[in-house]
């Protein structure tokens, strides 16, 4: 796949990463143009887990949604070994066996096992036994999982059983049953108890709006939280934990206590709770009050909190009380919280060392929000005197550290301007060189073709400076005018990075922009207010103003592009995914002559509709209340209401299996566009069975070629001609 020796780097920026253990084949090949097919072939590693002896790392490697299991030597020697090669992928939730000789994983709803040195994977037990939520015990000898009862006669037995099974011989016992459901089992540190959630359920709401016809049924899902239970395996009787409303971040503090968090109904208060697993009683040990709403990211960027230390002494959590997301530690028995990290940067993804004396985390750099480095806070027995050391260089985006069993090393993910996500290991002390484990890019990709972004700012609607990333093609003739593309990231609570995005969902968009750059497009990617990485005030600037100043921050990037002497003001396109698709629709209707063409990928068309989908009500209400409370705000967040203003071509792409932004939204958009006589301007491509973030190879190939052809048709040639397409208005 590639040579394995010291990579000296193809540029001064890359030299900083000290990529030991792997070679970059791009240095020796003749420069070649990037293709969409090459970029689709970039893999993404995730879920690294150390072997018990700390000599190997198992991980999932994902290529176009085909996920298989690999193992790499922690010292970077040799190539990663593919432990599975299922054509359909579908590998998840891997863990090492107690002796480190094999790796277990979930595939097709069952537990499988494969030798760590390579070999044929096999089901862990002699007969198929589909289940879910497979979790190994702390000693690695047993596994807990949930078996749902699907008897044809539901009156005989329904709901779910919680099973504990020995990995050695398959002996099992049913430890409890719930008539509705069981999910999320977690073992206590001593392996004598299991906590879980019982009684949660999904309520499906089906509808067939008049504009789609009675034959098409659209399903949205409402989640009903269940009850936390704690169960000592030798007692057989679950103890209900008195949860005050919705909760998250459930974890064991020690063999007798649980910790979890929650928010008030108005989203302004945040709580951390400790529960007694024997009595079920709960007490609040920490409370935060916000002026606008609790905005710490609780998904991929930061992970679920709080985090108890393995020795049971401390609770770590993130808070933005000084205006920035920082790491805090408090006694698990209650008491004052101590702020560990400080400064105009944001710390995320903390991970306790196994002895409970240190916390590894990643943090961006002051004035460099797109770079992240791995830090270690030594807590010892006194958080107030914690010492912080950063063990990776400033350049690049280094995230999500994981400790080896002996706490001597960490494995983490790194991206930069020339490399998509890869795994590295590093010793847990300052000055140690990082060791590269993977090379996720196809061998025939020429890294020298990649364009590094420039960090820029431009004024937003109220004069605040909007941070953005500007990409200028290499060797661009700046005496001439060139087309440009404004990319608007999704999620709201997300950001662009100085190089490849850390998440696979957005890394594919960074890849396609590198393709556009080599074709001569200038690209701008703003981090509008609401984006993470810039402090609390920027992130909460959307309060009671979704689709207002945040959307203007985004489309005013078009005005900034017009100020660049080498950009043709009449050939600027705009596109975005999800929240970025929502902003694209606003841009194309509020500023109908600013952009020559736009692409909406699964964008929200109306926030009343989005709020009414039970899956998203809380997210929306935390920012802009309810439609009844603030109809004016919701009216502002409804680009579909202004589709009659559309004057330029719009391409809409959406997957039918999308649960983040239901496919129904784009169907309604097309119907309204036709009613307003805009059908000649709108093109619509549906992707059967595709989720919100396009992932499968055939979908990516069609979508990227379709967007490529669309922008070429309307942006490549001067606006006075049409490049063979219908002349734009």
Residue 58 sits in a domain whose CATH number is 2.20.25
Report CA-CA distances (Å) from 207 to 616, 662, 692: 17, 12, 20
Beta bridge partner(s), residue 269: 289
Beta bridge partner(s), residue 425: 411, 435
DSSP-derived letter for residue 69 is: E
Q: What is the pLDDT of residues 423-445, one digit of tens each?
A: 999 999 999 999 999 999 999 99
Distance (Å, rounded) from C-alpha 401 to C-alpha 425? 9
Q: What is the pLDDT of residues 339-365, one digit of tens each?
A: 999 999 999 999 999 999 999 999 999
Instruction: Assign 3-class secondary structure to 309-347.
Output: CCCCCEEEEEECCCCCCEEEEEECCCCCCEECCCCCCCE
Beta bridge partner(s), residue 592: none
Question: Is residue 436 classed as helix, strand or coil in its secondary structure?
Answer: strand
Q: Is the pTM of this model over 0.85?
A: yes
Looking at the domain assignment, is residue 473 inside a domain? yes
Distance (Å, rounded) from C-alpha 439 to C-alpha 25? 10
Looking at the domain assignment, is residue 222 inside a domain? no
Name, in order, each residue with C-beta under 8 angstroms of 253's C-beta and a sequence gap of 6 or more.
Answer: 259, 274, 308, 312, 315, 332
Beta bridge partner(s), residue 30: none
pLDDT the model gives residue 719: 59
Looking at the domain assignment, is residue 393 inside a domain? no
Q: What is the pLDDT of residues 654-679, one digit of tens each?
A: 999 999 999 999 999 999 999 999 99
Backbone angles phi, psi at 69, to 5 degrees: -100, 135
Q: Which pair of tokens denotes residue 183?
A: 């999910």
Task: Please state the length of the chain.
Answer: 729
Sign of the dihedral through C-alpha 438, 442, 444, 447: negative
Q: Which pair of tokens denotes residue 595?
A: 């952009």
Share of the chain above pLDDT 70, in %: 92
pLDDT the model gives residue 2: 31
Beta bridge partner(s), residue 621: none
User: Nearest 5 degrees, angle CA 151-CA 156-CA 159?
Assistant: 65
pLDDT the model gives residue 156: 55
67, 99, 129 - which closes a domain: 129
Report CA-CA distances (Å) from 321 to 326, 377, 419, 540: 8, 19, 35, 13
Looking at the domain assignment, is residue 439 inside a domain? no
Alpha helix (H) residue ranges in 605-655: 607-612, 617-624, 631-636
Closest CA to 329 of 345, 344, 309: 309
97, 129, 161 - which closes a domain: 129
Q: What is the pLDDT of residues 360-371, one digit of tens each?
A: 999 999 989 999
Q: What is the pLDDT of residues 321-330, one digit of tens each?
A: 999 999 999 9
How distant is the alpha carbon of residue 324 from its chain centre? 20
Q: What is the pLDDT of residues 630-651, one digit of tens each?
A: 999 999 999 999 999 999 999 9
Contact 249, 261 (CB under 8 A): yes
Looking at the domain assignment, is residue 197 inside a domain? no
User: Which structural domain, as residue segments, surrounds residue 78?
Assistant: 44-129
Distance (Å, rounded) from C-alpha 329 to C-alpha 315? 6
Helices and strands in the chain: count of H runs, count of E runs: 11, 42
Name, in order, each residue with C-beta under 8 angstroms of 411's C-beta and a sequence gap of 6 or more.
Answer: 48, 50, 57, 74, 401, 402, 404, 423, 424, 425, 437
Number of structural domains found in the chain: 2
Q: What is the pLDDT of residues 505-562, one digit of tens each?
A: 999 999 999 999 999 999 999 999 999 999 999 999 999 999 999 999 999 999 999 9
Looking at the domain assignment, is residue 309 inside a domain? no
Contact 387, 410 (CB under 8 A): no
Q: What is the per-residue burial (b if ≥16 Cβ within 10 Å, else e) of 226-253?
A: bbbbbbbbeeeebbebebeeebebbbbb
CATH of the domain at 694: 3.40.50.1820
pLDDT the model gives residue 394: 67
Q: What is the pLDDT of residues 31-68, one digit of tens each?
A: 589 999 999 999 999 999 999 999 999 999 999 999 99
pLDDT band for position 385 (50/70/90)?
very high
pLDDT band for position 301 (50/70/90)?
low
Looking at the domain assignment, is residue 542 inside a domain? yes
pLDDT the model gives residue 18: 38
Distance (Å, rounded) from C-alpha 584 to C-alpha 595? 10
Distance (Å, rounded) from C-alpha 421 to C-alpha 425? 13
pLDDT at 5 over 60: no
For residue 306, is the peptide bond before it cis, meaning its omega torsion is within 30 degrees of 0?
yes
Q: What is the pLDDT of residues 548-604, one digit of tens each?
A: 999 999 999 999 999 999 999 999 999 999 999 999 999 999 999 999 999 999 999
Distance (Å, rounded) from C-alpha 693 to C-alpha 459? 30
Strand 142-148 with 132-136, pairing: antiparallel
pLDDT the model gives residue 15: 34
pLDDT at 605 over 70: yes
Residue 565 class from Cβ within 10 Å (0-12 exposed, 13-18 middle, 19+ buried)? exposed
pLDDT band for position 89 (50/70/90)?
very high
Q: Which pair of tokens denotes residue 416?
A: 């930069």
Question: Is residue 597 classed as helix, strand or coil in its secondary structure?
Answer: strand
129, 155, 186 - which closes a domain: 129
pLDDT the model gives residue 720: 56
Distance (Å, rounded) from C-alpha 711 to C-alpha 689? 26
Looking at the domain assignment, is residue 295 inside a domain? no
Q: What is the per-residue burial (b if ≥16 Cβ within 10 Å, else e) of 654-684?
A: bbbebebbbbbbbbbbbbbbeeeebeebbeb
Name, in order, each residue with C-beta under 8 angstroms of 520's C-beta and a sequence gap of 6 or more.
Answer: 473, 476, 482, 483, 716
Q: Which pair of tokens denotes residue 562?
A: 């017009």
DSSP-derived letter for residue 30 is: P
pLDDT the model gives residue 157: 59
Listed range (499-513, 605-619, 712-726) with the worst mean pLDDT:
712-726
């Amino acid at each position: 796949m590639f040579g394995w020796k010291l990579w000296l780097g193809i540029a001064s920026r890359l030299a900083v990463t000290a990529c030991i253990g792997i070679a970059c084949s791009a240095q020796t090949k003749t420069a070649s143009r990037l293709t969409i097919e090459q970029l689709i072939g970039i893999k993404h590693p995730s879920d690294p887990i150390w072997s018990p002896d700390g000599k190997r790392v198992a991980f999932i490697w994902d290529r176009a949604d085909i996920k298989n299991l690999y193992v790499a030597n922690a010292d970077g020697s040799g190539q990663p070994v593919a432990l599975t090669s299922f054509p359909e992928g579908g590998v998840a939730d891997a863990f090492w066996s107690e002796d480190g000789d094999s790796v277990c994983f979930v595939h097709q709803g069952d537990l499988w096992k494969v030798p760590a040195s390579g070999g044929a994977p096999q089901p862990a037990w002699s007969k198929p036994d589909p289940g879910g939520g497979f979790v190994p015990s702390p000693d690695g000898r047993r596994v807990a999982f949930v078996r749902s009862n699907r008897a044809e006669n539901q009156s005989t037995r329904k709901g779910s059983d919680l099973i504990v099974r020995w990995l050695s011989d398959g002996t099992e016992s049913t430890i409890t049953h719930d008539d509705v459901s069981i999910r999320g089992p977690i073992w206590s540190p001593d392996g004598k108890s299991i906590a879980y959630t019982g009684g949660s359920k999904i309520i499906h709401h089906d509808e067939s709006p008049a504009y789609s016809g009675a034959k098409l049924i659209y399903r949205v899902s409402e989640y009903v939280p269940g009850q936390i239970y704690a169960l000592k395996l030798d007692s057989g009787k679950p103890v209900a934990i008195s949860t005050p409303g919705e909760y998250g971040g459930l974890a064991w503090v020690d063999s007798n206590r649980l910790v979890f968090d929650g928010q008030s109904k108005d989203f302004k208060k945040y709580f951390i709770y400790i529960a007694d697993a024997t009595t079920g009683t709960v007490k609040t040990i920490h409370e935060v009050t916000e002026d606008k709403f609790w905005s710490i990211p609780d998904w991929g960027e930061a992970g679920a909190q709080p985090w108890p230390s393995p020795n049971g002494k401390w609770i770590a959590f993130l808070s933005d009380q000084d205006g920035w997301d920082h790491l805090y530690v408090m006694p698990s028995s209650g008491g004052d919280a101590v702020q560990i990290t400080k400064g105009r940067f944001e710390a995320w993804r903390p991970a306790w060392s196994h002895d409970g004396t240190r916390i590894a985390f990643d943090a961006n750099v002051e004035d460099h929000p797109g770079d992240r480095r791995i830090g270690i806070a030594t807590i010892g027995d006194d958080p107030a005197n914690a010492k912080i050391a950063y063990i990776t260089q400033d350049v690049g985006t280094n995230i999500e550290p994981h400790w080896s069993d002996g706490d001597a090393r960490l494995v983490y993910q790194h991206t930069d301007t020339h490399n998509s996500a890869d795994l590295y290991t590093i010793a847990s002390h300052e000055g140690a060189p990082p060791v590269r484990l993977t090379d996720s890019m196809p061998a025939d990709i020429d890294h020298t073709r990649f364009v590094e972004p420039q960090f820029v700012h431009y004024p937003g609607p109220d004069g605040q400076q909007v941070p953005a990333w500007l990409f200028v093609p290499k060797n661009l003739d700046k005496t001439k005018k060139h087309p440009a593309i404004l990319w608007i990231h999704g999620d709201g609570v997300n950001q662009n990075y100085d190089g490849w995005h850390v998440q696979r969902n957005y890394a594919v968009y960074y890849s396609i922009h590198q393709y556009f750059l080599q074709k001569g497009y200038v690209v701008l990617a703003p981090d509008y207010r609401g984006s993470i990485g810039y402090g609390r005030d920027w992130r909460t600037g959307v309060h009671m103003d979704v689709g207002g100043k945040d959307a203007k921050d985004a489309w005013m990037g078009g005005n900034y592009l017009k100020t660049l002497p080498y950009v043709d003001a009449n050939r600027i396109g705009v596109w975005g995914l999800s929240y970025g698709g929502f902003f694209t629709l606003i841009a194309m209707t509020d500023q109908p002559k600013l952009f020559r063409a736009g692409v909406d990928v699964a964008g929200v068309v109306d926030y009343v509709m989005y709020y009414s989908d039970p899956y998203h009500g809380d997210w929306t209400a935390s920012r802009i209340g309810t439609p009844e409370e603030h109809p004016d705000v919701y009216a502002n967040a409804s680009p579909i209401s202004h589709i009659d203003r559309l004057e330029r071509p719009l391409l809409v792409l959406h997957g039918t299996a999308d649960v983040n932004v239901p496919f129904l939204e784009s169907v309604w958009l097309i119907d309204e566009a036709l009613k307003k006589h805009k059908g000649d301007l709108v093109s619509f491509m549906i992707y059967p069975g595709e989720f919100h973030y396009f992932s499968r190879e055939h979908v990516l190939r069609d979508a990227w070629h379709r967007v490529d052809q669309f922008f070429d048709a309307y942006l490549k040639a001067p606006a006075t001609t049409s490049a063979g397409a219908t002349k734009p208005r």
